[in-house]
């Protein structure tokens, strides 16, 4: 019994001396780009994702194989260049800001924040290191779920980008761990409290990108109805119609009108099937600027606002030879070039 007691005391002394050389380290090993791709400011939301990889290594000292490690870690993502976490923003060459958010869950409900942020918390993970396998490394990865919300109609076309900087509380990792003999321990309460040791390490900067393309859409083109006109056609008959279109902010556009289906020698004509009535379309209320479809010559030019814009088509049936009674019509094609 006396020898047995001495053996236990000697073993305890050996175990105690080995703890001074145990070490647990964690780091971020890589972050991919959050690339949202094409964003339509007048359409719905756009989702994107990225991957962040991390690694933790336990190196036990003398008799370290008899110890297990319980580690609680967290990974933070930096705010944008204005210090905002939700929403973060991207910039283009015109200093327009595109709003987006980064989430920890695929449902995109929990915003991913920096370490130590109580409102938007970081991503948390737990790792354990078993006995009899020192040194050992555990690796893991987490998905960053990004979303560009809808309704950003004032965005102009161009490439948008932003950088999430590296730092111990930004793109960084923090961890606390407990070393327990024979792995009889528990995980620390958080990545910053509890346990017998821990640390923090800055990670690499990461990039977020998106592209807003030039886009124009025509919502409506109302009918230009001259109504009932005297068949003698001895006076001008004037009416108007409307074109409604939406173009990406700052997108230059030109709207052209062709000569219709019954033109002759560049003169627009309506037909009743057996006869014709000449008419013309203009860009101005004085009806002096003919509206055609030759770019930079007789089209209507403008710049998109991101909201719906209305253009007026000024129509005229000029004085001309009398026409037989009937219903006259024509079809004109509208073309938007941007």
Enumerate the domain spans of the chain: 20-212, 216-337
For the structural domain made of 20-212, what CATH number should be given? 2.60.40
Helical (H) or strand (E) element with 162? strand 158-164
Which strand ranges, in their side-by-side order, compose the sheet holding 97-103? 23-31, 46-59, 136-148, 97-103, 88-91, 158-164, 206-212, 34-39
CA–CA separation, 43 vs 248, rounded Å?
11
Q: Output the pLDDT for position 250.
A: 93
CA–CA separation, 39 vs 260, rounded Å?
35
Give the CATH superfamily of 216-337: Fimbrial-type adhesion domain (2.60.40.1090)
Q: Output the pLDDT for position 135.
A: 82
CA–CA separation, 220 vs 2, rounded Å?
100
CA–CA separation, 158 vs 250, rounded Å?
10
Q: Output the pLDDT for position 311.
A: 98
CA–CA separation, 180 vs 196, rounded Å?
10
CA–CA separation, 148 vs 89, rounded Å?
10
Q: Output the pLDDT for position 13.
A: 34
20-212 with 216-337: one CATH topology?
A: yes
Report phi then psi at 219, rounded to 5.
-85, -50
Is the peptide bond between 87 and the residue preceding it cis, with omega within 30 degrees of 0? yes
Tell me which residue has tokens 């008899």: 66
Q: Low-confidence residues of the chain, pLDDT below 50?
A: 1-21
The three-point CA angle 178-181-187 to 5° equals 25
């Amino acid at each position: 019994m006396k020898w047995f007691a001495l053996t236990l005391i000697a073993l305890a002394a050996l175990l105690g001396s080995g703890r001074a050389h145990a070490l647990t380290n964690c780091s971020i090993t890589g972050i991919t780009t959050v690339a949202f791709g094409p964003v339509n400011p007048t359409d719905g939301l756009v989702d994107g994702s990225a991957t962040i990889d991390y690694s933790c290594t336990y190196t036990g000292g003398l008799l370290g194989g008899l110890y297990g490690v319980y580690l609680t870690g967290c990974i933070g993502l930096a705010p944008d260049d204005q210090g905002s976490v939700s929403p973060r923003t991207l910039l283009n060459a015109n200093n327009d800001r595109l709003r987006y958010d980064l989430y920890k869950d695929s449902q995109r409900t929990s915003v991913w924040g920096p370490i130590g942020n109580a409102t938007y918390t970081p991503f948390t993970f737990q790792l354990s290191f078993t006995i009899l396998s020192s040194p050992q490394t555990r690796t893991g990865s987490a998905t960053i779920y990004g979303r560009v919300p809808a309704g950003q109609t004032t965005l102009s076309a161009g490439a948008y980008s932003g950088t999430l900087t590296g730092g111990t509380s930004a793109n960084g990792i923090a961890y606390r761990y407990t070393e327990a003999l024979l792995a009889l321990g528990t995980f620390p309460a958080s990545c910053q409290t509890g346990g017998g040791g821990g640390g923090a390490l800055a990670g690499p900067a990461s990039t977020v990108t998106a592209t807003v393309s030039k886009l124009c859409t025509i919502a409506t083109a109302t009918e230009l109805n001259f109504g009932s006109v005297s068949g003698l056609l001895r006076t001008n008959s004037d009416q108007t119609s409307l074109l409604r279109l939406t173009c990406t902010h700052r997108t230059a556009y030109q709207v052209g009108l062709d000569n219709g289906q019954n033109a002759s020698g560049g003169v627009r004509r309506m037909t009743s099937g057996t006869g014709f009535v000449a008419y013309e379309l203009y860009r101005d209320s004085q009806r002096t600027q003919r509206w055609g479809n030759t770019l930079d010559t007789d089209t209507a030019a403008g710049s998109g606002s991101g909201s719906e814009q209305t253009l007026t088509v000024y129509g005229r049936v000029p004085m001309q030879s009398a026409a037989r009674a009937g219903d006259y019509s024509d079809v004109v094609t509208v073309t938007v070039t941007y």
